[in-house]
Chain A
Amino acid sequence: MSTNAAKNLFIYGSLLCFAVLVILTIDTMGTLDKRAPEITEKVDAGKKVWHKYDCIGCHTILGNGSYFAPDMTKATERKPKGYLKKFLLNPRSIKPDAAMPKLGLSEEEADNLIAFLEWTSKVDTNDWPPKPVLAAAAAAGTASTGQMLFRKNDCAACHQIAGLGGTAGPDLTHTGSKQPDIDWHIRHLKDPASVVENSAMPAFAHLSDEEIRMLAEYLITLK
């Protein structure tokens, strides 16, 4: 190939590729709004809060950003809003060893942020993040009714038992030793704030008394 031929290939080849990119971009722009919920004023205000506090400096969202903290795309699916709001306002007041600092958000900013995160959780991301393929295996095996309720109510989103589960609430591996009183657990499950001041755990009052008892019985076996 002569130098001139190489040069022409470079110039026209690149221009062609760029033209294709522009066409694909135009097509994509036409589809994006259909692949996501409507953007309300609250969502937009929440996005601005996201930028204001540079959340991307620690977190990823849609998988892009910094790798110091968990991905935020599905944050509202993992945790109830009441918990998230308390956490955003002052992480260490409800999780003493949190690595996230108190950033000084106002109540309104926190509400807007949650609306924004709820929006991102509903974006059609071609099924990302994927469901863990091996998690089902870990959860298999026989389980007591209490254990089943623990799984069904997704207590593991916030609590760990023997290394499995979330870290938003305390580790429950030995909660039966720490708090052996079954009545305490029952009252706590029905209304956490009635026994633990400023608790960020959601109340499970919608469960039947029977279910709550089974759960509490299971909890006190965790020695």
Chain B
Amino acid sequence: MQYQSQKIALNFYTAAVVLFLVQVLVGIIAAVQFMWPDFFILNFNTIRTLHINALVVWLLMGMMGATYYVVPEESETELWSVPLAQFQFWATVLAVGAVVAGYIVMGLNPQANTEIFGTRLLNEGREYIEAPRWADVLIVVSVLLFLFNNLMTILKTKKFTAVQGVLLGGLTFLALMYIPGMFYTKSMVKDQFWWWWVVHLWVEGSWEMIAAALLAFMLHKLLGADVKVLAKWMYIETGLVLFTGILGLGHHYYWIGTPKYWLWVGGIFSSLEPIPLLLMVWDAFRTTRETRGVVENRVGLYYTVAHAIFNFVGAGLWGVVHTLPQVNKWTHGTQITTAHGHLAFYGAYVLLILSMIYVTLPSLRGVKEFNQSKGYLAFWWMTISMVFIVITITGAGMVQTYLERLLGLDYVTVKAGYNLWFWIFRAIFGVGFLVGAAIIVKDFFTLGKQPLPARQP
């Protein structure tokens, strides 16, 4: 680490990994509720809300931490204002805490979710963007402060690097795409139309831009690869991500009351979405192969390459199988969607943030060498468990699609009868995932703080 101010990234990383643990824990509760709905004091809907909100928030915190690390390094200067970054961090933590408390209160007593100023006090009742309007405003302010701080840093030395451009561009796009979720519409169709602007243009637009930028940054930092070549491929990847992803939004407009032409627009463009993701895999392999010399941070590279691969498999492959309208007509809103959602989020963003942590943490802690074995151990616990969760849920989705959608059996019959074993296995593999997550969080807190084992001569 060259710049003291980069240390602010540690605050964000800490909040991220703690929330990661919370997310996985409540995920297991949600999984058990599939078999036993009254398993916990909070109903399934509240547990699920906590699960997916913790996920989104910790990934955002991770991205912010990563950015606070990357920007000073690329700009070759200290952050514009550390107190501002600190304020932004604590304000975010406070707001998130208040929102979580609100969800729990609402879960225990739905009547507390009263209407104020035409919106809901505690829970907006819209998936992923459950956070109430007052919290939306706080989130936007926090992101704006964050963007401002980084922009001022860049302006200090005016070193406009490609990575900075795409990273900050992606983050600005992210902030802008939060706005379509911030107004009430009387029509449920319009509600879902704008809702997908937020959800889809985040994960298949702005977040992928951020991923491409961080991928280039990590490959450079780990391997010392040529910045020019990395930048070129980063532009091609992001260009294709947006070319396919923006109009790929149409794959959510097949059946929600929108006109038929979306079947064509969504089908064609979203089918192309895996291409840039495959390019990123190739980019990671090519750069690794072409760079000779010793890689010090092998575990960092391991996570980076794994991120590229699972981004392609989870988002690209598990996405493309149900993206054509002819298939989606039968699988829309089944467990197939959940299987894709898990592998895509895990591969594209969970592994992205964890790679950034492994790539930057050693220098943040001021060590060159560290014990890498925990990182590998955690990786395999998490990845094997996640792959099996996805296999079981894909199985459940296929059974559901066949029996409910094709044969016309009752939803509850399929869920409570035919798919019971899939729920049982998911819960078991969920515990395996928790083991991996616990190992990585422990490693985060101890990395570089213990003496290294004596070297073999």
CB-CB nearest in chain A for B261:
A24
Contact count A vs B, C-beta below 8 Å: 220
Question: With an 8 A cutoff between CB atoms, is B48 at the interface?
Answer: yes
A138 x B407 contact (CB < 8 A): yes
Query: Which residues from A are CB-within-8-Å of B337?
Result: 67
A28 to B411: give the CA distance in the assembly, Å. 32
- Smallest distance from the beta carbon of B229 to chain A beta carbons, Å? 8
A9 to B265, CA, bound (A): 21
CA distance A51 to B110 in the complex (A): 11
CB distance from A68 to the nearest CB of B (A): 5
Query: Please, how many angstroms separate the alpha-carbon atoms of A64 and B332 in the complex?
Result: 8
**Docked complex Cα distance between A85 and B191 (Å):** 25
Q: Is B67 an interface residue (CB 8 A)?
A: no
In the assembled complex, how far is the CB of residue B79 from the closest CB belonging to chain A, in whole angstroms? Answer: 26
**Complex contact B48–A66 (CB within 8 A):** yes
A123 CB-CB contact with B under 8 Å: yes
Interface residues as binary, B181-211 with A (CB distance below 8 Å gives 1, 0 otherwise) = 0000011111111011000000000000000
**Cα separation A123 to B192 with both chains bound (whole Å):** 13
Given contacts A64-B127, A66-B127, contact A165 B410 (CB under 8 A): yes
Query: Closest residue to A122 on the B side, CB-wise?
Result: B257
User: Which chain A residues lie closer than 8 Å to B329 at the CB level?
Assistant: 128, 130
Q: Of A9, A130, A135, which one neighbours B239 at CB under 8 angstroms?
A: A9
User: Which of B48, B187, B195, B413 lies in contact with A32, CB distance below 8 A?
Assistant: B187
Q: What are 15 residue pairs bridging A and B, where the CB atoms are less than 8 Å apart in the complex?
A: A14-B238, A14-B246, A17-B247, A24-B261, A31-B259, A39-B186, A52-B110, A52-B113, A66-B44, A67-B335, A101-B38, A116-B188, A128-B255, A134-B406, A134-B408
- Are A51 and B125 in contact (CB-based, < 8 A)? yes
Is A53 within 8 A of B44, CB to CB?
no
Question: Is A62 a contact of B192 with CB atoms below 8 Å?
Answer: yes
Interface residue B254 (Cβ < 8 Å from any Cβ of A):
yes
Whether A99 sits at the interface, judged by CB under 8 Å, is yes
A188 at the binding interface (Cβ < 8 Å): no
Q: Which of B34, B111, B236, B255 contacts A62 (CB 8 A)?
A: B255
For residue B46, CB closer than 8 A to chain A, the reply is yes
Task: Please indicate the chain A residues that have their CB under 8 angstroms from the CB of B243 in the complex.
Answer: 13-14, 17
- Contact partners of A220 in chain B: CB under 8 A: none
Would you call B333 an interface residue if the criterion is a C-beta within 8 Å of the partner chain's C-beta atoms?
A: yes
Q: Is A54 touching B49 in the complex (CB atoms < 8 A)? A: yes
CA distance A167 to B108 in the complex (A): 28
Which chain A residues (56-90) contact chain B, with CB distance < 8 Å?
Answer: 56-58, 60-71
Given known contacts A39-B186, A53-B110, A53-B125, A6 and B232 CB-to-CB distance under 8 angstroms: yes
Contact B408 A55 (CB under 8 A): no
> How many chain A residues touch B (Cβ–Cβ < 8 Å)?
75
Q: Which residue of B lies closest to A61 (CB)?
A: B188
Interface string of A23-60 (1 = CB under 8 A from B): 01101110111011001000110011011111111101
The interface of chain A, by Cβ under 8 A from chain B, is 1-3, 6-7, 9-10, 13-14, 17-18, 20-21, 24-25, 27-29, 31-33, 35-36, 39, 43-44, 47-48, 50-58, 60-71, 99, 101, 103-104, 116, 119-120, 123-126, 128-135, 138, 160, 163-167
Residue of A with least CB distance to B255: A128
Tell whether A55 pairs with B407 under 8 Å between CB atoms, given A62-B188, A66-B45, A71-B333.
no
CB-CB under 8 A from B330, the residues of chain A are 130
**Quick check: A13 and B242 within 8 Å, CB to CB?**
yes
Query: Bound state CA distance, A25 and B409, in angstroms?
Result: 37
Query: Which 10 A-B pairs give the minimum distances between C-beta atoms?
Result: A57-B45, A132-B408, A51-B125, A10-B239, A128-B255, A135-B408, A63-B333, A6-B235, A14-B242, A70-B411
Cα(A125)–Cα(B329), bound, Å: 11
- Asked if B162 lies at the interface with its beta carbon under 8 angstroms from chain A, I say yes
Q: Which listed residue (B228, B246, B262) contacts A18, Cβ 8 A?
A: B246
Give the total of B residues in contact with A, Cβ under 8 Å: 78
Would A10 and B125 count as touching, CB distance under 8 A?
no
Query: Would you call B338 and A10 a contact (CB within 8 A)?
Result: no
B333 & A32 in contact (Cβ 8 Å cutoff): no
Tell me the nearest residue of chain A to B417, going by C-beta: A163
Contacts of B235 in A (CB 8 A): 3, 6-7, 9-10
Q: Closest residue to A167 on the B side, CB-wise?
A: B412
- CB pair B228–A64 under 8 Å, yes or no, is no
- Residue from B243, B247, B249, B256 whose CB has the most chain A CB atoms within 10 Å: B256
Min C-beta distance of B210 to chain A, whole Å: 14
Q: Is A68's CB under 8 angstroms from B48's CB? A: yes
Check if A129 sits within 8 Å of B110, measured CB to CB: no
A31 to B115 CA separation, bound complex (whole angstroms): 30
A104 vs chain B, min Cβ distance (A): 6
Whether the Cβ atoms of A21 and B412 lie closer than 8 Å is no
The residue on B at minimum CB distance from A30 is B259
**A32 lies within 8 A of B257 (CB):** yes
A138 in contact with B408 (CB, 8 Å): yes
A167 / chain B contacts, CB cutoff of 8 Å: 410, 412-413
Complex formed: what's the CA distance from A103 to B107 in Å? 10
Contacting pair A32 B189 (CB below 8 A): yes
**Contact between B45 and A125 (Cβ–Cβ < 8 Å)?**
no
Cβ B257 vs Cβ A160 within 8 A: no
Minimum Cβ distance to chain B for residue A114 (Å): 14
Identify B333's interface contact among A44, A65, A134, CB under 8 A.
Answer: A65
Known contacts A29-B190, A35-B257, then 14 further A-B pairs from the complex at CB < 8 Å, ordered by chain A residue:
A6-B233, A9-B235, A20-B246, A31-B259, A35-B189, A36-B187, A52-B113, A57-B127, A62-B188, A62-B189, A64-B195, A99-B412, A126-B260, A133-B406
**Cα-based distance from A180 to B140 in the complex (angstroms):** 66
**Chain A residues within 8 Å of B43, by CB:** 57-58, 101
Specify which chain B residues have a CB less than 8 angstroms from the CB of A44 in the assembled complex.
186
CB distance from B244 to the nearest CB of A (A): 9
State A167–B413 Cα separation when bound (angstroms): 7
The answer to whether B193 touches A28 (Cβ under 8 A) is: yes
Q: Given the known A-B contacts A32-B189, A61-B188, A134-B408, are A51 and B126 also in contact in the complex, defined by CB atoms under 8 Å?
A: yes
When C-beta atoms are compared, the residue in chain B nearest to A14 turns out to be B242
**A62, closest chain B residue (CB):** B256
| B115–chain A nearest beta-carbon distance, Å | 7
Q: Which of B378-424 contact A (CB under 8 A)?
A: 404-413, 416
Q: What residues of chain A lie closer than 8 Å to B162, measured between beta carbons?
A: 3, 7
